[in-house]
A = this chain, B = another copy of it.
Amino acid sequence: MSLKSPLQEIRICFVGESFVNGTGDPECLGWTGRICVNANKKGYDITYYNLGVRRETSTELRNRWFREVSYRLSQKYDGRVVFSFGVNDTTIENGKTRVNFEESITNIHSILSEAKKLYPILVVSPPPIGNEEQDQRIADLSQEFTLVCQELNIPYLDVFSKLINSNIWLEEAKNNDGTHPRTGGYTEFAQIVENWDAWLNWFPTSQIS
């Protein structure tokens, strides 16, 4: 199985927080690297830009994403963006969440509506972290992501509902640093994204000879 040469080049920026970075994965791939490796195996030539930043909230991301993404994805190339963020908004500090719920929704809407004008984009939900109260807030935020993505006609993948039932994800997060899983958890995350039709549609196998 091989593509007609040359391989189709695609440049993808993954934008978000520590889970996009792959924090905790000793193999330094996370879910984002794993899905790109598998796209390469299908015969694509992926330039993989990982723009996950630990502790970043959606308010901070709103001010960053365009500068870093546009610097890497010039109009000359086939550039695409995958977003996944939100967990840090829901963390309690000084008695309240780092970003209030309404502001998170405003940020999500702003980021995604701007991004979709410029690039093909996909959105992946924030994952659970294994803390019951915070996971409820993440689930609530994921519901808002669903609504915004429906409104903007952007493909949205709810990995939260699957990972909240994943023993591997939750056990690894608990035994690692209480938040981030290791290789097994990220592998599971990657498998969910890899089977998503919107991701698969980015890599049509009909081009494979």
Contacts and interface: CB of A to CB of B under 8 A. Distances in A.
B49 A21 contact: yes
A37 B46 contact: no
A37 B47 contact: no
A41 B23 contact: no
Given A28-B33, A33-B28, A64-B71, A47 B40 contact: no
Interface in A58-72: 64, 67-68, 71-72
A50 interface: yes
A48 interface: yes
Contact of A28 (B6, B29, B67, B68): B29
A114 interface: no
A192 interface: no
Given A40-B28, A53-B72, A64-B71, A47 B23 contact: yes
Interface of A: 6, 11, 21-23, 26-29, 33, 36-37, 40-41, 46-50, 53-54, 64, 67-68, 71-72, 177
Given A64-B71, A67-B67, 19 more contacts: A6-B177, A21-B48, A22-B48, A23-B47, A26-B40, A26-B41, A27-B40, A28-B29, A28-B36, A28-B37, A28-B40, A28-B46, A28-B48, A29-B29, A29-B33, A47-B54, A49-B50, A53-B71, A54-B72
